[in-house]
Homo-oligomer: A and B are copies of this chain.
Amino acid sequence: MIGYGFMGASHSQGWRTAPRVFGLPADVEMAVVVGRNATAVAEAAAKWGWAESATDWREVIARDDIDIVDIVTPGDSHAEIAIAALKAGKHVLVEKPLANTVAEAEAMVDAAAAAAADGIRAMVGFTYRRLPAVTFLRDLIAAGKVGTVQQVRAAYRQDWLVDPETPLAWRLQKEHAGSGALGDIGAHIIDMVQFVTGLGVTAVTGTMETIVKQRPLLGEGSGLSGTAGEGYGDVTVDDLAIFTGRLDGGALASFEASRFATGRKNALTIEISGDRGALAFDLENLNAIQYYDRTAPAGLQGFTNILVTEPEHPYVAAWWPAGHILGWEHGFSHQVKDLVEGIVDGTDPHSTFAEGLTVQRVLDAVETSSENGSTWTSVPIGS
C-alpha cells in the first residue's frame, strides 16, 4: 500500500477484514506500507498490521513478493505510481479520483488496457458502489424496478468549511488539490449516478463557487507553497458546485457538491425517478433504501424503507443477522473481496480505469461550463 493517510487506515481495515469474513479464494498478506516519512510510516505499519514499511515506492513495486499495489496517495501522484506498477506486472487498486487531470487518466486507461492483456487487473476505488444498499440500487434498476429513468437528483453535502477561520489547507489550493468540492465529493455522485443507472453523463451545465474567498494561512511550518506565512491567502478551489447533466437516453440529472451545507456531515443523497418507480438513498443512513413502486395498487403506494440487511442483499449474508447494521467502512472490505476474486477469476472488477476516466471527463466539462457562463458543454466519449 502506497500512502498512509485517512484512506490508508480505511484500506487497511478492508485488507485486514475481508479474508476473515468472506473466505477469499486466495490468501491475502499485508506486506508493506510505503510513505515518505520513515518514522511515521513505520508507526502506521505497526498500528495497522502491515509486516513492513518502506519509503521508496519504486523499490517496493520492483519486489517479486508483491502482487497487488494499493495506491492511497493524493491524486497528483496516482498516474505515475499506477502506470509504473502496472508495467511491473502488479495488480493495481487506486483510490478515487483516478487522477487529477483527464490526460493522466487517459494514460492510465492505456496502461491498464496493456496490462490486461497479461492478466493484470486495474481497479479504481469508488468504494460507495460496494455498500450493500448502493449495489442493491443498481440491481433493482437493472431489473426494471424504476422503468425508464426520467430524472435523477444527487447531492453530496458536507459542512466542514462553514467556519471562515478554517485554515488554508492544501485541499483549498488548486495547485495541490486540482479542484475543491467538485473533484472530492462531486466525483462520488457522478460515479454513483452512472453506476446505478448504467447511463453515462453526456453533457453538463454547471456553476462553481468559492464562498469564503480568503482563509488564514497555516504558518511558516506548513511546508506547502501558497499556504504558508501569516495573514490570509486566497482559496483557489470551489466550495460549492451545482451542475445539471444530460444522461444517455435524455434524462436530466441534477448534482450538488457542497462543503457549506451547514449541519450536513456526510450527506450523499440520490434519487432516481422513472415511469415504474423511484429509488432513493442517503449515505448518513446507509443501511437502507427507499423504494416507490408505481405498479402497486392505488391507495397502497408510498416509499418503502427497505433495511438492506437481509441475506438476500448484496454482501450481507457473510456479515450479521437482519437489522444488525454495517458501517461506512464495510465498503472497503467488499472492495478487497471483489478485487481478489477478480484477480483469481481473471475478470475485471468494476470500477475500471475506463469508468474512472468518464468521471474525470465529466468533472472537466463542469469546470469548462462554469468558466463559460454555465453554457452546456459536451463530455467526450470513448478512449
**Candidates B240, B274, B323; contact of A265 at CB < 8 Å:** B323
Mask of A158-180 contacts with B, CB within 8 angstroms, 1/0? 11101110000000000000000
> How often does this chain occur in the complex, in copies?
4
**Candidates B278, B307, B310, B325; contact of A298 at CB < 8 Å:** B310
Binds B, one of A102-110, A189-197, A217-225, A369-377: A369-377
Mask of A40-64 contacts with B, CB within 8 angstroms, 1/0? 0000000111000000000000000
- Give the 10 A-B residue pairs with the shortest CB-CB distance, closest first: A266-B323, A265-B323, A263-B292, A327-B327, A299-B312, A302-B306, A262-B278, A262-B273, A324-B328, A304-B304
Contacting residues, chain B, for A209 (C-beta < 8 A): 252
A322 CA / B260 CA spacing, docked (Å): 14
A285 CA / B283 CA spacing, docked (Å): 12
Instruction: Determine whether the beta carbon of A242 is less than 8 Å from that of B240.
Output: no
**Candidates B262, B275, B307; contact of A277 at CB < 8 Å:** B262
Contacting residues, chain B, for A358 (C-beta < 8 A): none
- A371 CB to closest chain B CB (Å) equals 12
Interface residue ranges, A against B (CB under 8 Å): 6, 10, 12-13, 16-17, 20-21, 23, 47-49, 136, 146, 150-151, 153, 155, 158-160, 162-164, 205, 207, 209, 211, 240, 242, 244, 251-252, 254, 256, 258, 260-267, 271, 273-275, 277-278, 283-288, 291-292, 294, 298-307, 309-310, 312-313, 320-330, 373-376
Instruction: Determine whether the beta carbon of B260 is less than 8 Å from that of A151.
Output: yes
Contacting residues, chain B, for A329 (C-beta < 8 A): 320, 324, 327
A243 CA / B285 CA spacing, docked (Å): 28
Contacting residues, chain B, for A155 (C-beta < 8 A): 153
Contacting residues, chain B, for A240 (C-beta < 8 A): 151, 252
Contacting residues, chain B, for A211 (C-beta < 8 A): 150-151, 251
**Candidates B242, B273, B320, B326; contact of A244 at CB < 8 Å:** B242
Residue ID in chain B nearest A324 by CB atoms = B328
Contacting residues, chain B, for A10 (C-beta < 8 A): 320
Known: A299-B310, A323-B267, A323-B284. A162 touches B275 (CB 8 A): yes
- A278 CB to closest chain B CB (Å) equals 4
Instruction: Determine whether the beta carbon of A205 is less than 8 Å from that of B374.
Output: yes
Instruction: Determine whether the beta carbon of A150 is less than 8 Å from that of B260.
Output: yes
Instruction: Determine whether the beta carbon of A307 is less than 8 Å from that of B302.
Output: yes
Contacting residues, chain B, for A298 (C-beta < 8 A): 310, 312
- A358 CB to closest chain B CB (Å) equals 21
Instruction: Determine whether the beta carbon of A291 is less than 8 Å from that of B300.
Output: yes
Contacting residues, chain B, for A299 (C-beta < 8 A): 136, 306, 310, 312-313
Known: A262-B278, A304-B303. A326 touches B328 (CB 8 A): yes
- A142 CB to closest chain B CB (Å) equals 14
Q: Contacts A153-B261, A205-B207, A325-B327 given; 7 further ones with Cβ under 8 A?
A: A151-B261, A205-B205, A207-B244, A262-B294, A263-B277, A263-B294, A265-B307
Residue ID in chain B nearest A163 by CB atoms = B275
Instruction: Determine whether the beta carbon of B307 is less than 8 Å from that of A305.
Output: no
Residue ID in chain B nearest A48 by CB atoms = B20
Q: List 9 A-B contacts (CB under 8 A).
A: A16-B20, A151-B240, A162-B275, A163-B275, A205-B374, A209-B252, A284-B287, A291-B300, A303-B304
Instruction: Determine whether the beta carbon of A302 is less than 8 Å from that of B301.
Output: no
A256 CA / B256 CA spacing, docked (Å): 12
User: Among the interface residues A267, A286, A327, which one has the most CB atoms of the partner chain B within 10 A?
Assistant: A327
- A245 CB to closest chain B CB (Å) equals 10
